[in-house]
């Protein structure tokens, strides 16, 4: 049974909650003279204990100042809570980004990406992330890949036929799960981003030059997610800075000018096709194709 608040001693867990640290940290500080003084601890028999402050907020402010004088900068309660939430979300971030990228890959095989398709992608991505978070929120450690796949299979079984048509197949998931880190997954996203940019440019009858492609490409996956929901944001006031693609220097570094390398990026993004969907149909020029030596032609 915990002592009532009328107790003259400030419990270690209360001090830890007030300073946004762990109880273990408070106990560790008690071993050092300077940090005991910073906490205001006094001797009580064989123990060091903190007298209950008359005003907890004043005690917190003064204690933080004393620790700052010792060179120990304590995080605010808000920053500590945000860090904890971030650590929890990191367990699902990689799988969440895999799902988003797989949805985009699926959409890229279905022709032009419409506003309805973007809306479906965002809905499925957010709902899948919520399902993953809800399934493992009370667990310890990082969920295994098998557990995450089982969770997504259960989620998939609940989708309507319309939404199910946007759900990636196993082959696409196999591709994105080859990436074991966010950095490796970002490489796949960059390739898809470039391939979609090439397709968009060629469908308007333009050449895929740096000038035409650069405004269509995204810095990272979060920028692409934001831009995917741009039409959904029109009903609100969008305070984000305008997304104007990549800086030219970043574009040239990320996508070398050599044609073989660009073709390789496009092929890697789609995995199967040698060219972009719909882009292999070149206009009829009326010229007879030049036959190679394998066709038995002679010059």
d(CA 118, CA 232): 9
Q: Which residues of 205-235 are buried (b: 16+ CB within 10 A; e: fewer)?
A: eeebeeebbbebbbeebebbbebbbeeeeee
Model pLDDT for residues 222-234, shown as the tens digit of each residue: 767 766 654 433 3
Q: Over the range 112-140, which residues count as b (16 or more CB within 10 Å of their CB) and which as e? A: ebeeebbebbbebbeebbebbeebbeeee
pLDDT for res 104: 87
Closest CA relative to residue 67, chosen from 34, 42, 20, 43: 34
pTM of this structure: 0.51
Rounded to an integer, what distance in angstroms lies between the CA atom of residue 125 and that of residue 223?
15
Rounded to the nearest 10 degrees, the angle between the axes of helix 182-203 and helix 77-108 is: 50
Task: Give me the pLDDT at residue 133, please.
Answer: 76
The residues near 227 (Cβ < 8 Å, ≥ 6 apart) are 218, 243
Show me where the domains of the chain are located: 9-74, 80-270
For residue 270, the model assigns a pLDDT of 57
Query: What SS3 class is residue 19?
Result: helix
Listed as ranges, residues in the chain with pLDDT below 70 are 1-6, 77-91, 112, 137-142, 223, 226-244, 257-299
3-state DSSP helix/strand/coil % of the chain, to nearest 5: 60, 5, 35
Contacts of 59 (CB under 8 A, 6+ apart): 10, 18, 40, 53
pLDDT at 3: 45
**Six-digit token string for 295:** 């066709």
Per-residue pLDDT at 238: 34
235-243: list long-range contacts, CB under 8 Å, 24+ apart.
243/218
């Amino acid at each position: 049974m915990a002592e009532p608040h009328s107790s003259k001693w400030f419990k270690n867990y209360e001090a830890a909650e007030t300073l946004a640290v762990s109880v273990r940290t408070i106990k560790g500080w008690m071993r050092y003279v300077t940090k005991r003084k910073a906490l205001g601890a006094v001797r009580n028999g064989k123990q060091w204990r903190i007298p209950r402050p008359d005003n907890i907020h004043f005690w917190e402010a003064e204690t933080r100042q004393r620790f700052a004088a010792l060179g120990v900068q304590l995080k605010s309660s808000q920053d500590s809570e945000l860090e904890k939430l971030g650590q929890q979300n990191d367990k699902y971030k990689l799988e969440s980004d895999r799902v988003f990228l797989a949805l985009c890959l699926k959409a890229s095989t279905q022709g032009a990406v419409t506003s309805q398709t973007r809306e479906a992608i965002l809905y499925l991505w957010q709902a899948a992330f919520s399902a993953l978070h809800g399934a493992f929120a009370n667990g310890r450690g990082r969920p295994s890949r098998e557990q995450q796949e089982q969770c997504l299979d259960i989620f998939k079984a609940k989708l309507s036929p319309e939404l199910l048509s946007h759900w990636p197949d196993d082959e696409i998931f196999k591709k994105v799960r080859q990436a074991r880190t966010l950095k490796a997954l970002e490489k796949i996203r960059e390739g898809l981003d470039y391939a979609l940019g090439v397709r968009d440019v060629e469908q308007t009858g333009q050449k895929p030059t740096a000038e035409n492609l650069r405004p269509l490409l995204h810095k990272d996956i979060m920028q692409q997610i934001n831009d995917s929901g741009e039409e959904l944001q029109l009903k609100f006031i969008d305070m984000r800075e305008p997304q104007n693609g990549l800086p030219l220097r970043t574009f040239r570094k990320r996508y070398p000018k050599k044609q073989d390398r660009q073709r390789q990026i496009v092929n890697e993004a789609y995995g199967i096709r040698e060219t972009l969907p719909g882009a292999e149909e070149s206009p009829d020029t009326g010229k007879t194709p030049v036959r190679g030596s394998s066709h038995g032609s002679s010059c």
